[in-house]
Chain A
Amino acid sequence: MLPLDIFLSAMANGLMMGAVYALVALGLTLVYGVLHIINFAHGATLTAAMYAVYVAHAMLGVDPYLALPGLAAIFFALGYLVQRWVIGPASHGDDSNILLVTLGLSIIMENALLAGFRSDTRSIDVPYGFSVVEVGNLFLSTPKLVAFAGSFVVAALLWLLLARTDTGRAIRAVAKEKTGAALVGVRVEHIYAVTFGLGAACLAVAACLLMPTFLVNPRIGNAFVLVAFTIVVLGGMGSIPGALIGGLFVGVVESLSGLYLGESLGQIGIFLIFILVLLARPTGLFGARA
């Protein structure tokens, strides 16, 4: 057995990474829950957001945390516009078309980023990149702690929006009863676009929280989205608590399997558990029973 301290620090690292996974999964599950489509452009959007953080820092000298509110707003607006004037009109109300349109968008975005930034892996250098906080015997990376806390704040804000505002109620109404929503005067296309924008904004926040300790290349988003898909299925498609708890769980599993099986096999644990969940409880931990 490994010493307890190492185990605990792996747990803590897993939880911190898991919170960011949760944030990525949150955007995915929200869009799935309301529009009933898998957004294949989710990964490319995350990559684009990470490059946006990179450009803001490297060229404009803006700290990632300071860039967060602005980038979240910009990505919300971009998500809104893309859904309202590209995905929506191009899909003609057919879900399989939406799937293809988002897939096409992801290919365009990835290749545009590849053309613009080359395939080099890049990172940013912030003064607090390696600073740590001492908790008991554990040394926790400060930017990762910020990412952990930041993810929870975003999840809480999202929950407040959905539970307490009329826009949030309209989002939940459209998710289950489109015609009923239209008949109380909800503009369904607008709500779709708002939801898509929220999904993109989640990614912008995730990118700002990730970049101080992470790197970016034109395909980086896919690594996250594969994990996020697992989390969404694990937690139950469309479930927000499911995404949050699933994200933390997957982060811990990945970190612990990395500890016991070796770093390169870290993700094996995730997929083992994923297969077990699919066999035992296909609707996910928080999914509605069929």
Chain B
Amino acid sequence: MLEVRDLVAGYGGVPVLRGVSLDVTAGEVVAVLGANGVGKTTLNRCLSGLIRPGAGSIRFEGVELVGQDAADIVAAGLIHVPEGRRIFPNMSVLENLELGSYRRARPRRAANLARVFSIFPRLAERKRQFAGTLSGGEQQMLAIGRGLMAEPRLLIMDEPSLGLSPLLVEEMFTLIARIAAEGLAVMLVEQNVVQSLDLAGRAYVLENGAVAMSGPAEALRRDPTLMTTYLGL
């Protein structure tokens, strides 16, 4: 479904990604792990068309995404729930969700809204509230809900557990597991190694802008070198 090959990207001549290759196939949950600054967010920004990679290719369902703009990538069904949530603070929860279907799945807005509210009942309770007044966990739910409104074929989640209390992190992973269980392909980009490996079928570990390890999540969880690689020791 998603095939990334030899992706090179950076900012103003400073390389961040040095040839990343990875795959996500339909219906699977793939974790992309790595410490701060290894290039996880840059990878996501390339995938969703926010920045243009220097070299390499990104094929999504057989179509080359490099060179397409963010709106076309959304239209193709690759939906990115960004780090830092990026919700619209000056608009109501309902309007945030409605905008989730701005480019895609607009005719089924009402049905998808009902579905998002059933996954996140808290959002239904607060639908008239300004999104900027929500708690961190609720804002994360809103960002995911907004992504689901576009009926993603592949959902990329960038650090959904960042800044949440341990209890909320637990809840967030449970919810993500529930969404994935419906057959949606998910690429989970996380620092939270243990929980991500519990959820994912396969995982990639990034280090210094390249894939350092990859394989079934089960195997990586038992791999004694994971922690040292992951921590960069």
Give A contacts to B, CB under 8 Å.
166, 169-170, 172-173, 175-177, 179-187
Tell me whether A187 and B71 are in contact (CB under 8 A): yes
Which chain B positions have C-beta within 8 A of A179? 50, 82, 86
How distant is A144 from chain B, measured CB to nearest CB, in Å? 35
Which chain B positions have C-beta within 8 A of A184? 74, 99-100, 102-103, 146, 150
Identify 26 residue pairs between A and B in the complex whose beta-carbon atoms are under 8 Å apart, listed by A's number: A166-B98, A166-B99, A166-B102, A166-B106, A169-B95, A169-B98, A172-B88, A173-B88, A175-B90, A179-B50, A179-B82, A179-B86, A180-B87, A181-B99, A182-B49, A182-B70, A182-B71, A183-B50, A183-B79, A183-B86, A184-B100, A184-B102, A185-B70, A185-B103, A185-B104, A186-B99
Which chain B positions have C-beta within 8 A of A172? 88, 90-91
Tell me whether A180 and B86 are in contact (CB under 8 A): yes
Which chain B positions have C-beta within 8 A of A170? 99, 102
Known: A169-B91, A172-B91, A179-B50. A185 touches B102 (CB 8 A): yes
* Cα of A176 to Cα of B88 in the assembled complex, Å: 7
Which chain A positions have C-beta within 8 A of B50? 179, 182-183
Which chain B positions have C-beta within 8 A of A185? 70-71, 74-75, 102-104, 150
Closest B residue to A238 using CB positions = B90
Which chain B positions have C-beta within 8 A of A173? 88, 91, 99
Other A-B pairs, 13, CB within 8 Å; known A169-B99, A183-B79, A184-B99: A169-B91, A170-B102, A173-B91, A173-B99, A176-B91, A177-B86, A180-B87, A181-B88, A182-B49, A183-B50, A183-B82, A186-B102, A186-B103
Closest A residue to B149 using CB positions = A184
Which chain A positions have C-beta within 8 A of B87? 177, 180
* Cα of A164 to Cα of B103 in the assembled complex, Å: 17
Which chain B positions have C-beta within 8 A of A180? 82, 85-88
* Cα of A173 to Cα of B88 in the assembled complex, Å: 6
Contacting residues of chain B (76-128) with chain A, CB-CB under 8 angstroms: 79-80, 82, 85-91, 95, 98-100, 102-104, 106
Q: Which of A166, A169, A177, A181 contacts B89 (CB 8 A)?
A: A177
Q: Is B69 an interface residue (CB 8 A)?
A: yes
Which chain A positions have C-beta within 8 A of B88? 172-173, 176-177, 180-181
* Cα of A275 to Cα of B82 in the assembled complex, Å: 43
Tell me whether A176 and B70 are in contact (CB under 8 A): no
Closest B residue to A175 using CB positions = B90
How distant is B11 from chain A, measured CB to nearest CB, in Å? 14
- Determine which residue in B71, B74, B87, B146 has the highest number of CB atoms from chain A within 10 A of its CB, and name it: B71
Nearest 3 Cβ contacts at the A-B interface: A185-B103, A185-B74, A180-B86
Which chain B positions have C-beta within 8 A of A181? 88, 99
* Cα of A186 to Cα of B69 in the assembled complex, Å: 10
Q: Is B48 an interface residue (CB 8 A)?
A: yes
Which chain A positions have C-beta within 8 A of B85? 180
